Chain A
Amino acid sequence: MSLIQLQNVSVDLPVFEMGGRSLKKRLVALGRRDRIAKDNDGVVVVRALDSLNLTLQEGDRVGLIGRNGAGKSTLLRVLAGIYPPTSGHIYSRGRIVPLLDISLGMDELSTGRQNVRLRGLLLGMSDAEIRRKTEEIATFTELGDHLDLPLRTYSSGMRLRLAFAVSTAVDADILLLDEVIGVGDVSFMKKAEERMLDLHNRAKIVVLASHSDEVIRKMCNKALWMDRGRAREFGTVDFVTGKYIEEQATSMLPP
């Protein structure tokens, strides 16, 4: 049984100004009496998530919608365990895999195969798991002998194929995606879409942040509307996206 539960989760992101990063300034300030008057410690705190309650169960395919800066990416990072919440509790069961940046950690000088291993290890796969999947990944990329050449000889399309193939080979109970992973090449697109769908189907819970209504309608059965760090609406896709579009329309009207 896979499950994620957020109870009253808040996240404060510190935004550091130059002075806030200085140990010297901090130590000098300790010796001063008029500490308050001079300057504050150069740290501004932004509340990115505000007392969020959420329960995701097996079978949930959740689309995250909301404006830029509404907290979608922060929420994904909290779900992934990257950002431990400032307050509140998070409870999860199952293997969580965030695919936020699929090209993360690719090494220019290593060959395609070596990059498969590196990326696999970063995704938390074991060596045995990587060995088992390497052939399947190699076939999918259609890169053939290029896989034994260093990555710096690859075109950007080839890199993307490789990154996509490894990232989507992962077995996740809970899959977290920031925007849909696209693969530029038109001829490759169909294959990539199928693979993506297969990845979705293997996972028990999927959370997908996207600005595209179409994608959310196609891939998800629930939607969560984030607004300034709070959950505005959570429910079926039609209901939530309907409300969201409604509000966008009204806010665009002249006063």
Chain B
Amino acid sequence: MFATALRDLSASLAAWRLWSLLGWLEIRQRYARSKLGPFWLTISMGVIVGSIGIVYGTLFNQNLADYLPMMGIGLVFWSLLTGIINESCLAYINSAGYIRQTSTPKLLFMLQVGWRNLMIFLHNFVIVILLLAVFGSKDWSTLPIFIPGLVLFILNALWIGQVAGVISARFRDLPQITAAMLQMAFYVTPILYHPSMLNKHQWIVDFNPFAHLLDLVRGPLIGDPPSVLTWCVTGVMAVLGWLLALALTERYLKRIPYWV
């Protein structure tokens, strides 16, 4: 089962030197010769967190010490998730030159997108550390759960990215559709507001997979350990999602060079 896809995946993982280098070069290209380099991302994210914090914190009548870390950390992880998914749509399309001229394994271009966004995330993580240092956590003992949470979070982002990337190579309007859908998802996911503020519309959060994904990484950091339901939902999602991604890859891997 999935012999072709798995062979490509393991060959891609083995070529980690190539995708980590390509991913890093792309970040450097964007911030060519600016003194702060990728830390411009950190600054702009910091400004966004600060201004949203003040405006929405006041609008919602929230205590800033609770609201700011919840919203700020949520935003950092949301941008990691949407960064991976949105850029994955272009993973194969933008690597057309490589795909059509050399016979490298294909999944490495997806790993390149994942790696690049992880690097950007690490720059943004400074904000998370700052927020925690200033406002603290309700319960520091939940902190270690963050690691498995992050792993599961990224595994989920990567399968969504792979599915989107393969389909986007064939259908060029998917990147736009994806971007629009993620924009909508942003508003129904508790990032700017606390889930409890939805009152009787709690189901919006319960049935929203993105809310569970976010809970997985934000919860341990701010001292709200993710519920058993969240672990189950995201775990099942990762398994089924990767099966879907592998099945799709198995079926269409050979077509990618013809599509890009």
Q: List CB contacts (< 8 Å) of A6-20 with chain B.
A: 13-14
A60 interface residue per 8 A CB criterion: no
- Give the CA-CA distance A83 to B25 in the complex, in Å: 27
What residues of A have a CB within 8 angstroms of the CB of B97 in the complex? 101, 104-105
A190 lies within 8 A of chain B by Cβ: no
Indicate with 1 or 0, residue by residue over B225-260, a CB within 8 angstroms of chain A CB atoms: 000000000000000000000000000001001110
Other-chain residue from A13, A23, A77, A109 in contact with B32 (beta carbon distance below 8 A):
A109
Tell me which of B100-108, B110-118, B142-150 binds A: B100-108
Which residues of chain B are near A83, meaning CB under 8 Å?
Answer: 257-258
Of the four ranges (under 10, 10 to 19, 20 to 34, 35 or more), the interface on chain B belongs to 20 to 34
In the assembly, what is the distance between CA of A150 and CA of B184, in Å? 43
Q: Which of A21, A96, A107 contacts B171 (CB 8 A)?
A: A21
Residues from chain A with a CB closer than 8 A to the CB of B170 are: 21
Q: Which single member of A13, A21, A96, A109 contacts B173 (CB below 8 Å)? A: A21
A82 touches B28 (CB 8 A): no
A127, B16: Cα distance in complex, Å: 11
* Chain A neighbourhood of B174, CB < 8 A: 23
Q: Are B171 and A104 in contact (CB under 8 A)?
A: no
Residue B7 at the chain A interface, CB threshold 8 Å? no
Q: Are B101 and A104 in contact (CB under 8 A)?
A: yes
A26 within 8 A of B: yes
Contacts of B138 in A (CB 8 A): none
Contact of A81 with B103 at beta-carbon distance under 8 Å, contacts A21-B172, A105-B98, A110-B25 already known = yes
Known A21-B173, A84-B254, A110-B25; contact A122-B103, beta-carbon cutoff 8 A:
no
Given contacts A121-B18, A123-B102, contact A23 B177 (CB under 8 A): yes
- Cα-based distance from A97 to B143 in the complex (angstroms): 49
By a CB distance below 8 angstroms, the chain A residues around B258 are 13-14, 83
The number of residues on chain A lying at the interface, defined by a beta carbon within 8 Å of a beta carbon of chain B, is 30
Cα of A21 to Cα of B97 in the assembled complex, Å: 19
Query: Contacts A14-B258, A80-B103, A104-B102 given: A22-B173 contact, CB under 8 Å?
Result: yes
Do B101 and A100 touch across chains, with their CB atoms under 8 A apart? yes
The answer to the question of A117 belonging to the interface, with a C-beta cut-off of 8 Å to chain B, is yes
State whether A96 touches B25 (Cβ < 8 A): no
CA distance A247 to B18 in the complex (A): 47
- From B21, B104, B167, B173, A117 is in contact (CB under 8 Å) with B21
Q: What A residues does B28 contact at CB under 8 A? A: 109
B201 at the interface (CB under 8 A from A): no
In the complex, A81→B171 CA distance in Å? 24
Residues of B within 8 A of A105 (CB): 97-98
| Given contacts A13-B258, A84-B254, A104-B98, A24 and B173 within 8 Å (CB-CB) | yes
- How far is B172's CA from A159's CA once the two chains are assembled, in angstroms? 34
- Nearest CB of chain B from residue A38's CB, rounded to whole Å: 18
Contact mask for chain B residues 72-105; partner A; CB cutoff 8 A; 1 contact, 0 none? 0000000000000000000000000111111110
Residues of the B chain whose Cβ atoms lie less than 8 Å from the Cβ of A100: 101
Chain B residues 102-158 with CB under 8 Å of chain A are 102-104
Known A24-B173, A118-B25; judge A96-B102 contact (CB<8 A): no
Instruction: Point out residues on B near A: beta carbons under 8 Å.
Output: 15, 17-18, 21-22, 25, 28-29, 32-33, 97-104, 167, 170-174, 177, 254, 257-259
